[in-house]
Amino acid sequence: MDAVNLLGFDLEGLAAFCEQLGEKRFRATQLFRWIHQKGAADFNAMSDLAKSLRDKLATRAVITALPIISEHVSLDGTVKWLFDVGAGDAVEAVFIPEDDRGTLCISSQAGCAVGCRFCSTGHQGFSRNLTTAEILAQLWFAEHTLRKRLGSDERVISNVVMMGMGEPLQNYAALVPALKVMLDDHGYGLSRRRVTVSTSGVVPMIDRLRDDCPVALAVSLHAPLDPLRDMLVPLNKKYPIAELLDACNRYLDKAPRDFITFEYCMLDGVNDTPELAAELVKLLRGHVSCKINLIPFNPFPASGLKRSPRERVTAFAKILQDAGLITTVRKTRGDDIDAACGQLAGEVQDRTRAHIRMVRAPVKAPGTEQDSPQ
Ligand code: SF4
């Protein structure tokens, strides 16, 4: 029998596993703390567990991180890791230190099936869902590695964002136990406000998340009109903007914050005009309690897209702000190590031929006959 990786269990799952070993459920809490709070991987180091339990665990279980392919540290302190998840696939996680917080951005899938035009992961296609253990291994490794480097027992990661590779709500079964470990007081003890799931708009799963584990929600919007969003975020054809906003409003009933964050990647000549800013105001003001995060696009050759000039981003933001919508422009971090949003390329064995489909379907700005600038 293969040994089980205990990183794959939330506390309830670990209690059930301990029962299978003939142990009392409360042992699971001790074990869980050793794993997630102390970063232990060696059962022999777990000094308050009975020797008999440690012996059983040694034959039936492991605590195993993902093999690291590379680590890059940016001049601004951002750290990017590339992890091997087997069969030629690799995923990335990024740690972003700031004065008042440490944010870890982690991946939920090897590749992504949604295929957003501006996203480097989307261009690679989809290989497979990560397991709960593979999602949590990114956090477990980053937290305890950074603590050791800083020589500290204090928590380093205060916020987790599911904004790395993949659409987390298309890997729901593995996602929810991972979120529960992040929130558990015996695990990482993060508040719901400090754990964010970012989605391209999988409407039924937004409703399920609201009922099962309502953490902060970010929605990749990127366009205020369906024809344009259909091109940028193909999932929009299935769940158009009106349905998505209805789901956001339902989510707000239980959300830990009283707003939804809308992400809007600024693409030169595609979605950054004053007219589209006005459409965005019409769409959101008075309809959804929200904040808007304008993201400078990080160009990559296959996208055929360019970053909006700074003055166009500023003008777009001003239209939103003047209309009373809380709007920020995201600072880019880790530019020197390609760690910025949308650049989490990893390496994926594309089983969906996404890169070929996208080259054949160039994106066009609304009301133009021209392809977007190359
Ligand atoms: S932006 Fe998110 S949902 Fe869209 S392709 Fe990239 S990883 Fe997938």
130-165 pLDDT, tens digit per residue, is 999 999 999 999 999 999 999 988 999 999 999 999
Residue 252 is assigned to a ligand binding site: no
Residues 6+ apart with CB under 8 A from 173: none
Residue predicted with more confidence, 333 or 247: 247
The helix (run of H) or strand (run of E) holding residue 21 is none
Whether residue 225 is predicted with pLDDT greater than 80 in this model: the reply is yes
Q: Are 118 and 342 in contact (CB under 8 A)?
A: yes
> Tokens 């409360």 appear where?
26
Q: Tokens representing 240?
A: 């158009």
What are the domain boundaries of the chain? 4-62, 68-360
CA distances from 66 to 92, 216, 303 (A): 11, 27, 30
Cβ neighbours, 10 Å, residue 62: 15
- In the predicted structure, residue 240 carries a pLDDT above the cut 60: yes
Average pLDDT over every residue of 256-270: 96
| Residue 331 pLDDT greater than 90, yes or no | no
Q: Out of 118, 120, 165, 167, give the residue to mutate to test ligand 1, the one with the largest number of ligand atoms within 8 Å of its CB.
A: 167
- Give the amino acid at 372: S
pLDDT over 90 percentage in the chain: 83
Give the mean pLDDT of 336-355. Answer: 61
In CATH, what class is 4-62? mainly alpha
Choice among 219-233, 246-260, 289-303 with the minimum mean pLDDT: 289-303
Lining residues, ligand 1, CB within 6 Å = 112, 114-116, 119, 121-122, 165-167, 200, 220
CA distance 4 to 316: 51
pLDDT of residue 301: 82
* Whether pLDDT at 349 is above 90: no
pTM of the complete model: 0.93
Amino acid 146: pLDDT: 97
CA–CA gap between residue 55 and residue 43 (Å, rounded): 8
Given a cut of 60, whether residue 359 has pLDDT beyond it is no
Mean pLDDT score, 115-137: 94
pLDDT attached to residue 360: 45
Atom of ligand 1 nearest to the CA of 119: 6
CA distance 208 to 251: 9
Sign of CA dihedral 202, 267, 335, 358: positive
Mean pLDDT (the chain) is 91
Residues assigned a catalytic role: 92, 341
- What is the CA angle 241-201-213, rounded to 5? 130
Q: Is the CB of residue 110 less than 8 Å from the CB of residue 345?
A: no
CA distance 86 to 217: 30
Judge whether 222 is annotated as a binding position: yes
Residue-level pLDDT at 371: 36
**pLDDT at residue number 95:** 97
Per DSSP bridges, beta strands 89-98 and 326-329 are unpaired
Distance CA 238, CA 235 (A): 5
pLDDT in tens, 24-64: 989 999 999 999 999 999 999 999 999 999 999 999 999 99
Q: How far is the CA of 167 from the centre of ligand 1 (A)?
A: 6
Measured distance CA(292)–CA(260) in Å, rounded:
8
> Going by CA atoms, what residue is nearest to atom 7 of ligand 1?
166
Query: Which residue's alpha carbon is nearest to atom 5 within ligand 1?
Result: 122
Average pLDDT for residues 283-301, to the nearest whole number? 94
Q: Per-residue pLDDT for 337 more than 90?
A: no
Predicted local distance difference test score (pLDDT) of residue 370: 38
pLDDT digits (tens, 9 = 90+) for 198-215: 999 999 999 999 999 999
With a CB cutoff of 8 Å and minimum separation 6, the contacts of 78 are 94, 95, 96, 97, 333, 334, 337, 339
Distance CA 98, CA 85 (A): 29
CATH topology of domain 68-360: TIM Barrel (3.20.20)
- Whether the per-residue pLDDT at 23 is higher than 70: the answer is yes
Higher-scoring residue by pLDDT: 359, 59: 59
71 annotated as a binding-site residue? no
